[in-house]
Structure 1
Amino acid sequence: MPPVCQSVRVIKAVVWDVDDTLFDYTTADRAGMREHLLAEGLLDAYGDAEQALVRWRQVTDAQWARFSAGEATFEDQRRDRVRVFLGTELTDTEADAWFQRYITHYETAWALFPDVLPVLDALAASHRHAVLSNSSIHVQDRKLRVLGVHGRFEAILCAAELGVAKPEAGAFHAACAALELAPHQVAYVGDHPEIDGRGAAEAGLLSVWIDRAGVYTSAGAPGGPHRIASLSELPALLGADTRFGAPSTFG
């Protein structure tokens, strides 16, 4: 029998991002905000609903970046999203109330992507599973319960409680520690090419970027993570990637 290669990488667990990876956040956010603005009588302030939704996403991305950089608390980034979007000075109580009314509409549109349950079923016996999100445990714990997949994960870690956010290596290493595994034994699957893809790769995990929208061409995509267009590709990737330094799927 030939000697066992010491560089074999055996992936024992998959750590998952939630929003726009497992959960179709973008669709739910757009549908929820459209209904919320209609209920609030605010659509007339914009040329059309699409302009309002684009503006909301721009504000959300900017405030989320502040939270991820440690410049705002989870609650403050929510309040500031409302204030900036409305262009109005609101008290914390007023901003919280407005955001909660939006949440009511947003939650009615919650759904998993169609490829999520099949891949979780396919990997249930072969791999352990956990969640690492740049959100709050209070948000993601409830979301995963409502979506019916909470019990699939051994651990659910979120930046608001960890005190460190992706793409910092400490966030990924905290997830590995929760599973009592080394980074090279863990795969991370997320939708953001830098925060998830490059961050996980630089932290030493097998990084898998789920690029559902085909945002980048092969030539323009950032290096580091493997790229897949559907979670249905993940089982084969985990089975095929058995060596450190296996070639990237970017080509």
Structure 2
Amino acid sequence: MDKRQDTALRAIKAISFDLDDTLWECYPAIERADQALMAFLHERCDVMKTQLTRESFYDLRASFIRRHPHLLGDVSLLRRGLLVELLQACDDHHTLAEEAYAFFYHARSQVDLYPDALPVLTALKEGYALAALTNGNADLGIIGIDHLFAEAHFATLDCPAKPEPDMFHRTCDALGIAPNELMHVGDNPETDVMGARNAGAVTVWINRTGMDWPDALEPADADITTLDELPAIVRQWGAYV
């Protein structure tokens, strides 16, 4: 439902999308990738066969994050560092860590798109430049949707994670548009909606799970429960260009 209070339309020229839990459900993909990674490590290093369990892996990950909290801003660096530490007892552990990361990265990108994602992205691409903005690191090429996006930005130590404005502003700069000509769609009230609003963009909250909006936050410009509702929202903010 459109939450706008004003009647003046902004001419939307581009639409950016969060990825995890907006275009696909994140947790099952990560869980499958972690399980596949552990099987890979059991196969490649005898020490891992006896020492690496699901519980020990998650305990080490939690400990690593506590000791290196800044790496939460770059999940690829975090995962690489975690693997180097995990595999210290294995032969040539740095090389194995890179191979393990490559294996995990490919597995992590085996996602199941929500049924509404591909049709809506394909339709909107006909009239708008699309961008992918994520604090994660899924590979759009492996997923098979990279051709739909004119821009893709991932959180790194040089490009701070949402809700910081960097990704939104880099997208606008690359596309040659003003921030208020960008519409951002995402599932997270803070990182997506507040981040996009503070960057000057139009905000759409996709609420697939029926959660309540946080009382402390100003509502999004519009909210939807599926991407099928998005084209109508886009049309309310300006005609196709």
Q: C-alpha displacement at 1:106, in angstroms? A: 3.6
Aligned amino acid, residue 98 of structure 1: A
Higher relative contact order (CA 8 A, sep 6+): 2
Q: C-alpha displacement at 1:188, in angstroms? A: 0.8
Does the Cα contact within 8 Å between 1:33 and 1:53 map onto a contact in 2? Answer: no
Q: Which residue in 2 is equivalent to 1:102?
A: 104
Q: Which residue in 1 is equivalent to 2:207?
A: 211
Name the % identity: 29
- Which deviates further from its counterpart, 183-192 or 95-104? 95-104
Deviations 1:49-101 (A, max 9, x none): 6x6797688679879962355xxx665311334467x5978854443343334
Q: Which residue in 2 is equivalent to 1:167?
A: 163
Aligned amino acid, residue 125 of structure 1: E
Look up the SS of the partner of 2:156 in the other structure: helix
Q: Does 1:113 align with 2:108?
A: no
Does the Cα contact within 8 Å between 1:162 and 1:171 map onto a contact in 2? Answer: no
Deviations 1:204-227 (A, max 9, x none): 10112223233x314657334233
Does the Cα contact within 8 Å between 1:212 and 1:230 map onto a contact in 2? Answer: yes
Q: Which residue in 1 is equivalent to 2:18?
A: 17
Q: Which residue in 2 is equivalent to 1:155?
A: 151
Does the Cα contact within 8 Å between 1:63 and 1:80 map onto a contact in 2? Answer: no
Structure 2 stretches lacking a partner, 5+ long: 1-5, 43-47
Distance 1:27 1:182 in 2: 36
Look up the SS of the partner of 1:160 in the other structure: coil
Does the Cα contact within 8 Å between 1:169 and 1:202 map onto a contact in 2? Answer: yes
Using structure 2 for the length normalisation, give the TM-score. 0.72
Q: C-alpha displacement at 1:231, in angstroms? A: 1.1
* Residues 94 and 13 of structure 1: CA distance in aligned 2, closer, same or farther (over 3 Å): same
Q: Which residue in 2 is equivalent to 1:247?
A: none
Does the Cα contact within 8 Å between 1:21 and 1:210 map onto a contact in 2? Answer: yes
- Which deviates further from its counterpart, 115-124 or 180-189? 115-124
Q: Which residue in 2 is equivalent to 1:232?
A: 228
Aligned ranges 1:118-157 → 2 under 5 Å: 118-135=119-136, 143-157=139-153
Q: Which residue in 2 is equivalent to 1:179?
A: 175
Q: C-alpha displacement at 1:171, in angstroms? A: 2.2
Does the Cα contact within 8 Å between 2:159 and 2:166 map onto a contact in 1? Answer: no
Equivalent in 170, 190, 214 of residue 194 of structure 1: 190
Aligned amino acid, residue 130 of structure 2: H
Q: Which residue in 2 is equivalent to 1:30?
A: 31
Q: C-alpha displacement at 1:122, in angstroms? A: 2.9
Distance 1:20 1:40 in 2: 28
Does the Cα contact within 8 Å between 1:16 and 1:188 map onto a contact in 2? Answer: yes
Using structure 1 for the length normalisation, give the TM-score. 0.69
Matched positions, count: 225
Does the Cα contact within 8 Å between 2:40 and 2:100 map onto a contact in 1? Answer: no
- Which deviates further from its counterpart, 60-69 or 125-134? 60-69
Q: Does 1:66 align with 2:70?
A: yes
After superposition, the CA RMSD in angstroms is 3.8
Q: C-alpha displacement at 1:186, in angstroms? A: 0.8
Aligned amino acid, residue 157 of structure 1: H
Deviations 1:9-43 (A, max 9, x none): 12121012223322443221111222333454579
